[in-house]
Amino acid sequence: MHKFVNAKKMVDRAKLGKYAIAHFNINNLEWTRAILETAQETKTSVILGVSEGAIKYMGGFNTVVAMSLALLNDLNITVPIALHLDHGQSVISCKKALDAGFSSVMFDGSHLNFNENIKGTKEVVMYAKKKNASVEAEAGTIGGEEDGVIGSGEIASEEDCKALAALGIDLLAAGINNIHGKYPPNWDGLKFDVLKNLSVAANKPMVLHGGSGIPKEQVQKAISLGISKINVNTELQEVFAAAIEKYVTSGKLKEDKGFDPRKVFKPGIEAIKLKVKELLTEFGSLGKS
């Protein structure tokens, strides 16, 4: 029986090899299947990320684990895959995810004062280690909004990164002027000098949140400076919606049983697969497992 793996080994290898593991947020069964099939087909390790909002939408922690695990086995996925709680807002959420069978969690204490962030991260690390799961922490805040989690985009400090890294975390997300959702036209790019210093201070694989829409050359540079995991959500949502919109507006719904949800979703699923392959190539992890 196939199981989810924790993310430590894959991100450590990515840091050494100067590429980034793709973390794709999932939203339903079709989404999960499209990502898993592409990972298997290209022999690439990926991380399935699930936000608290998506967990609520799909029915709960146990539903998400049961569905994802069943797909892993029914599709005979043999490449290492991690199931990761994205932006866990409390210690309780992280524990619930770990109890349900998530193999990796992010404790996002960036909305708390730093002492509380440290305290919460420490508790999650202790709990996760018992479950052989990996832990991601956050210093500074990621700007924008993701499923109701709003960050003003504070740049992380070296001291904070060092303190979090010392707790035994496996990955560190840090604010380097990256934002969730769409980047505005006047966005002035990632702060590479900050990333360089934080990466050295933490000496951990670094995570780039808000990976949708960052120019390719900036992504490449970020990877060269220590980014070992890149989170993508918006970009897959956009191609999925655009493909379905095209299906509907081209009159396909009126064709023979064109209203069948399997037919309606099919172009969206194909669009996700194409985009996933494109991003795996861009992150340098294609074929790496």
Residues with a catalytic annotation lie at 86
192 membership: H or E segment, kind and range = helix 192-202
**d(C-alpha 98, C-alpha 112), whole Å:** 22
Question: How buried is 264 (Cβ within 10 angstroms: 0-12 exposed, 13-18 middle, 19+ buried)?
Answer: middle
Q: Please answer whether residues 213 and 234 qualify as being in contact, where contact means their C-beta atoms are separated by less than 8 angstroms.
A: yes
CA distance 93 to 139: 19
Which residues are CB-neighbours of 266 under 8 A, at least 6 positions away? Answer: none
Please, are residues 39 and 77 in contact by the beta-carbon 8 Å criterion? Answer: yes
User: What six digits make up the tokens of 123?
Assistant: 């508790």
Quote the tokens at residue 152: 């003003």
Q: How far apart are CA 110 and CA 117, in angstroms?
A: 7
DSSP code per residue over 173-187: EE-SS-BSSPPPTT-
CA distances from 244 to 81, 136, 248, 254 (A): 28, 34, 6, 14
Q: Give the burial class of 92: count Cβ atoms within 10 A of its Cβ; 0-12 exposed, 13-18 middle, 19 or more buried.
A: exposed
252 DSSP 8-state letter: G
Q: Are strands 21-25 and 46-51 parallel, antiparallel or unpaired?
A: parallel
